[in-house]
Structure 1
Amino acid sequence: MSPEIPFVFHFCLSSMLLGCIAAVQLDGLTMELIHRDSPQSPLYPGNLPLAERIPKPSACPFAGLHHQTSMMSANKAATNKMISPLTSYGDPFLFFAQVGVGSFQEKSNHPHFKTYNFQIDTGNELSWIQCEGCQNKGNMCFPHMDPPYLNSQSKSYKPISCNQHSFCEPNQCKEGMCTYDVTYGPGSYTRGNLANETFTLYSSHGKRTALEDITFGCSTDSRNMKYAFLFDKNPVSGVLGMGWGPRSFLAQLGSISHGKFSYCIKANNTQNTYLRFGKHIVKSKNLQTTKIMQVKPSAAYHVNLLGISVNGVKLNITKTDLAVRKDGSRGCRIDAGTLATLLVKPVFDRLHTALADHLSRNQNLKRWIIHKLHKDLCYEQLSDAGRENLPVVTFHLENADLEVKPEAIFLFREFEGKNVFCLSMLSDDSKTIIGAYQQMKQKFVYDTKARVLSFGPEDCEKNG
């Protein structure tokens, strides 16, 4: 069984030859998300020279969750608007999508795309790419497999002049150019210039379709990005912003997306899946709906979490632990870029107690505490019967119930020769976020215009 935790929903934007751009008006879009361990991935071991293959951390089968815990500890002081999967939660690149970026003239007189890799970010608005300016004196680049984006050589790159675009924010200007500054946590940020560029995608017709004048950030200085721990094996160049706001990639798709996108996270850790926009979203029956909200200054998607149950028994949780505070903190977000669910400490403690009480009655389980991973709700399966009668956790949202099965509540791994599972949710001082691991094997449809989230069980293997 793979020790990797495969359920973080991330992107890699990869380039292809421009060729003939399809002059069609799209009313939808489908992007294939390629798992990093699939044969189509540039990081698939068989596609890399032997010396460059990234070993799986066999000594730590809960490595992704451990990394999330460690990063949380380092970001305790983060404010409400400094929340992002970039530095806080989970592994950085487990799914990829192929898209062309920019336009570069080659000797053959045919323009080509360049290859740049992006992570989806449903918690923030602005998309950005690490640009060549990060190599200038006084600036900083984070490590990457390829050179930074050569924006000065792209024929379609257009920097935005100050006060000449509605996306320019007040006092965000330098040397006549519109700038941006995004902070993700203490000491972690990206800064640079706002610009327009051409993104070219494959349409459902199999043709390539250019999206001109997509506004994004050309990063010339970034610090403390979590990609740095991958060193020169990191394929991620930036993020694709999918949160609330007019500058998000979702909003800029306009009539292509109609403000809608969907995904379905598979349980299989090497199979690809799809991100769908607009009319390409496959209709499903019997989906539940709940409202989604923006709690400013955050661009994340908030939902009303009213309570939590374990096997149908509601936990004693106060409304104040779940409600949004006047400063915009607390409340509940749903984020496919956060690996494991985070619960504010009072809520987590009650859930932890209820689960421990339920599991203590299973004679085929032995309690473990894995100190080096800071995990104290782990169990060894003494027999196959240890997997029987495991609890179900239900998140009670406004007008809808998100039911999480045992395989999405716990991480099941082989550890020190034993079959062990641990709780895959974490305590946090200030945030509640329903993460990707608890969303697997369910379809989610975001309708930002209607401000509605629809979801329900789905066979994601059928590309729902």
Structure 2
Amino acid sequence: MTHPLSIFVLMVVALLVPPTWATSRGGFHDIAPKGIRVDLFHVDYGGNFTKLELLQRAIKRGKHRLERLKAGDVLAADDGSDELQAPVHAGNGEFLINLSIGTPTVPFSAIVDTGSDLIWTQCKPCTSCYNQPTPIFDPSKSSSYSNLPCSSSLCKALPTSTCSPDCEYLYAYGDYSTTQGVLASETFTFGSKITVPHIGFGCGDDNEGKGFSQGAGLVGLGWGPLSLISQLGAGKFSYCLTSLDDSKTSPLFFGSTASFGKGLKVGSTPLIKNPSQPTFYYLSLEGITVGGTLLSIPKSTFALKDDGSGGLIIDSGTSITYLEEVGYKLVRKAFVSQVQLEEADASSTGLDLCFSLPSDASTVEVPKLVFHFNGADLDLPAENYMILDSSTGLLCLTIMDSTGMSIFGNFQQQNLQFVYDLQKETLSFAPVQCDQL
């Protein structure tokens, strides 16, 4: 079984329908009755890059992220003391969101990351801050700002905190970037009409590393209590990522707007919690089919182990899919045997498996790729796992190997709507043209 994959892509220009805004009801931020929609844009938005170059940049950004996620490292404070030691989180997402903070509002952009929880931005006075594209937030000029006490539930939810006397935090990310400061409460504004008060966030006055220079902080969408989705009390969220080289934004929904349209073929699989990694959204991957062949991957390959290792997470901030080595080798072998093209040197691409395209080719047949999750099969379109580069004449598989953890990346998620229902603990998905939502 094969998919036709066109060498030349026709760019279709469409009007982006303006988002429907809703107003928060406040309280514990239960926005479910009306919902929220915001738009995401890729961190390389506006850059003059080919699709392969965009992917190469994303893979480079995610290299340390992957390694640190698997290692479960702990980062100590710079001064060598034992006062603050922070477990390493994902960080370095691939998508940005525009929002505002404070009263009066100060606009900024932040990385959106399903692989971490903390919401934070850089704050004055900065002892160490990186250059950001918007003014740094000055809490002394906001009438809605307040520090959170150490007795607050959000302070207690921090993986690393101290009291002196306010709740101080250290949060570390996979590329060795860190944010350190005071946990505070502030009003956040999404778009121009959605105002949500009393959001707990990190007011970072010591932020180091190169991982966040595209924006002015980060918005965590993980499963933990510090994340935006948890603080909103929305119960569910949804996103639909446009193609990597698409200039259109990707919609992100919270609450009642996080739902599917009519007539879609929706699959649903359980979300699995890992007490050792409570932020991540784990899925049960039970098998993989390439072409018409169900691969003989041992069932234990992608299983979450009792000690918290292994398993497969779905992650918006990791560019491509990384499969446990045993499973990946069988996937690779199947593609080599089924793609009727000569294998090429892939070292220049940052990927592992590439094929040489005939100079006169306009289309090429590639094997179908199906991920068999518990309760649902995800039949990926060819453009979600193969990438064509006409300048080099290469056709490459956008999946690589890993050890210790598998990740279902955002390249594989293009033009699929995903709904995370945290109450039912399910992930549902359906093929959708994301720029038309």
Q: Which TM-score band applies after superposition, normalised by the shorter structure?
A: 0.7 to 0.9
Provide the residue aligned with 1:441 in structure 2.
Answer: 415
Provide the residue aligned with 2:124 in structure 1.
Answer: 132
Please state whether the residue corresponding to 2:200 is helix, strand or coil.
strand
Provide the residue aligned with 2:373 in structure 1.
Answer: 397
Partner letter of residue 293 of structure 1?
I
Partner letter of residue 98 of structure 1?
N
Offset, 1:282: 4.0
Offset, 1:457: 1.4
Q: 1:199 to 1:437 in 2, by over 3 A?
A: same
Partner letter of residue 221 of structure 1?
D
CA distance in 2, matches of 1:56, 1:221: 32
Provide the residue aligned with 1:352 in structure 2.
Answer: 332
Please state whether the residue corresponding to 1:293 is helix, strand or coil.
coil
The 8 Å contact of residues 290 and 399 in structure 1, kept in 2 or not, is answered as yes
Q: Would you say 1:115 and 2:92 are equivalent positions?
A: no
Superimposed CA distance per residue, residues 66-94 of structure 1 (whole angstroms, 9 cap, x where no aligned partner): 515753687487317635142xxxxx55x
Provide the residue aligned with 2:38 in structure 1.
Answer: 31
Superimposed CA distance per residue, residues 295-319 of structure 1 (whole angstroms, 9 cap, x where no aligned partner): 1232010111111110131222122
Q: Would you say 1:219 and 2:204 are equivalent positions?
A: yes
Q: 1:169 to 1:96 in 2, by over 3 A?
A: closer
Please state whether the residue corresponding to 2:379 is helix, strand or coil.
strand
Match of 1:176 among 165, 175, 179: 165
Match of 2:253 among 273, 276, 289: 276
CA distance in 2, matches of 1:455, 1:64: 27
CA distance in 2, matches of 1:56, 1:445: 30
Q: Would you say 1:368 and 2:368 are equivalent positions?
A: no
CA distance in 2, matches of 1:68, 1:126: 20
Partner letter of residue 39 of structure 2?
E
The 8 Å contact of residues 413 and 420 in structure 1, kept in 2 or not, is answered as yes
Q: 1:102 to 1:441 in 2, by over 3 A?
A: same
Superimposed CA distance per residue, residues 136-168 of structure 1 (whole angstroms, 9 cap, x where no aligned partner): 2xxx32332234322232221111122244543
Q: What are the residue-to-residue correspondences of 1:245-260 with 2, within 5 Å? A: 245-254=224-233, 257=234, 259-260=235-236
Offset, 1:198: 0.2
The 8 Å contact of residues 59 and 320 in structure 2, kept in 1 or not, is answered as no
Offset, 1:180: 2.2
Superimposed CA distance per residue, residues 262-318 of structure 1 (whole angstroms, 9 cap, x where no aligned partner): 111222610122111121134333311110022123201011111111013122212
Provide the residue aligned with 1:78 in structure 2.
Answer: 71
Provide the residue aligned with 2:101 in structure 1.
Answer: 101
Superimposed CA distance per residue, residues 401-441 of structure 1 (whole angstroms, 9 cap, x where no aligned partner): 111122111122233xx432211112122220111111112
Offset, 1:371: 2.4
Q: 1:83 to 1:126 in 2, by over 3 A?
A: closer
CA distance in 2, matches of 1:455, 1:29: 19
Offset, 1:400: 0.5
Provide the residue aligned with 2:144 in structure 1.
Answer: 156
CA distance in 1, matches of 2:333, 2:24: 58
Provide the residue aligned with 1:142 in structure 2.
Answer: 130
Offset, 1:235: 3.7
CA distance in 1, matches of 2:363, 2:61: 26
CA distance in 2, matches of 1:326, 1:395: 23
Which is worse superposed, 183-192 or 389-398? 183-192
Q: 1:166 to 1:185 in 2, by over 3 A?
A: closer
**Cα RMSD between the aligned structures?**
2.9
Which is worse superposed, 325-334 or 23-32? 23-32
Partner letter of residue 365 of structure 2?
N
CA distance in 2, matches of 1:277, 1:262: 7
Q: 1:411 to 1:69 in 2, by over 3 A?
A: farther
CA distance in 2, matches of 1:61, 1:209: 32
Offset, 1:453: 0.8
Partner letter of residue 130 of structure 1?
Q
Provide the residue aligned with 1:335 in structure 2.
Answer: 315
- The percent identity for this pair of structures is 28
Provide the residue aligned with 1:428 in structure 2.
Answer: 402
CA distance in 2, matches of 1:385, 1:395: 28
Please state whether the residue corresponding to 1:247 is helix, strand or coil.
coil
CA distance in 2, matches of 1:31, 1:62: 24
The 8 Å contact of residues 412 and 422 in structure 1, kept in 2 or not, is answered as yes
The 8 Å contact of residues 193 and 217 in structure 1, kept in 2 or not, is answered as yes
Provide the residue aligned with 1:302 in structure 2.
Answer: 282
In structure 2, stretches of 5+ residues that fail to align are: 1-21, 74-86
TM-score by length of 1: 0.77
Provide the residue aligned with 1:208 in structure 2.
Answer: 193
CA distance in 1, matches of 2:397, 2:55: 11
Q: 1:453 to 1:384 in 2, by over 3 A?
A: farther
CA distance in 2, matches of 1:167, 1:187: 23
Q: 1:450 to 1:461 in 2, by over 3 A?
A: same
TM-score by length of 2: 0.81
